Amino acid sequence: RRTIVPNLLKQLELEELSLVDRPANAQAMVSLYKRDNSEEETMEKAYKMTEDQEKNLDNLPPKVRAKIRENMDKGMSYDEAMKAMHDEDMKKADEATAEELEIETLKASEVALKEENERLRKSLIDNGYVIKADTIEKKAEPEYVEYDGEQINKADIPAPILKALEEAEVAKADAELTKRAEEALPNFNIDVAKTLIAKFDTDEAVMEALKGADAVFGESMEEFGKSDADGNFATAQDKLDALVKSYMDENKLKKSQYAVAYAAVAKTDEGKALINKSYKGE
């Protein structure tokens, strides 16, 4: 009978495992384990620690305890795991400090920018600028309207009232201009006179010439009875004025068109002769 001596095989790699009804080696054994799929907490791994270390570990917060065990799973001793965790905490603290410092710097910069912004806003507003959402514009100079002898800012008056006040102001100015025109140039067409007064009222030389022309217009329109008993005119100027008046009557010209009639008569031979005589005082 052959004696079978059991052998201990090391580094054996099995590619296949089969169940047979007649094994070649009845003493050959293989351990089979079913995977534990339960959700229960797995048993803690046994770590090489002293009794004091185990006690200290048990007294630590769960998160710290789990971190130390995680480090020890990587092959660290208890002391090495504690040191690694401490170093990691210090690194996080340094990073947090740097982040806090950066945040404080940003906050200080924000405060400085806000102060500078307020200073610039105040300076712009004080210098008459209007700050809008997307533009900065020069504030328009206030416009005033006079009411009852008092100057009132137009921006402070409701639109309907402002319109009425402006119309009243225009009417008042027109009445004053009409009065000055009637006094200075009574023989001119009133609209023409108002235009001339508005433009030349402060120019003394022009106004003197206009008043002289107005006087001539006035004289030419008057009936003086300057002819003698034979129907002849006393002077060349009288006859010239009569010709101009006759031309205006025939052509139905207005009083304000005296200059047109005078120019027409002056172009005729008779008109030229009368003008020359009037210059000589005849």
Residues contacting residue 224 through CB under 8 Å, at least 6 positions apart: 238
Higher pLDDT, 103 or 179: 179
Pairwise CA distance, residues 146 & 165, whole Å: 8
Instruction: Scan for tokens 């006087």, then name that residue.
Output: 215
Q: What confidence category does residue 102 fall into, taking pLDDT thresholds of 50, 70 and 90?
A: confident
Confidence bin at 282 (pLDDT 50/70/90): low
Distance CA 101, CA 135 (A): 36
Burial class of 260 by CB neighbour count within 10 A (0 to 12, 13 to 18, 19+): middle
pLDDT band at 73 (very low <50, low <70, confident <90, very high): confident
Q: Beta strand pairing status for 136-138 and 144-147? A: unpaired
Q: What tens digit of pLDDT does each residue of 124-140 get?
A: 888 878 877 788 887 77
Look-up of token digits 């092959």: 75
Q: Most confidently modeled of 65-74, 129-138, 170-179? A: 170-179
Going by their DSSP bridges, the two strands 136-138 and 129-131 should be labelled as: antiparallel
How confident is residue 147, by pLDDT bands cut at 50, 70 and 90?
A: low
Give the global pTM.
0.31
Contact partners, residue 165, CB within 8 Å, separation at least 6: 145, 147, 152, 157
Tens digit of each residue's pLDDT (9 = 90 or more) over 254-269: 877 877 788 888 888 8
pLDDT score, position 38: 58
Residue 62 vs residues 6, 49, 67, 81, 249: alpha-carbon distances, Å = 48, 18, 9, 15, 125
**Cα-based distances in Å from 260 to 63, 245, 255, 264, 266:** 114, 11, 10, 6, 10
- Reduced to 3 states (helix: H, G, I; strand: E, B; else coil), residue 218 is helix
CB-CB contact of 198 with 210 (8 Å) = no
End-to-end CA distance of the chain: 186
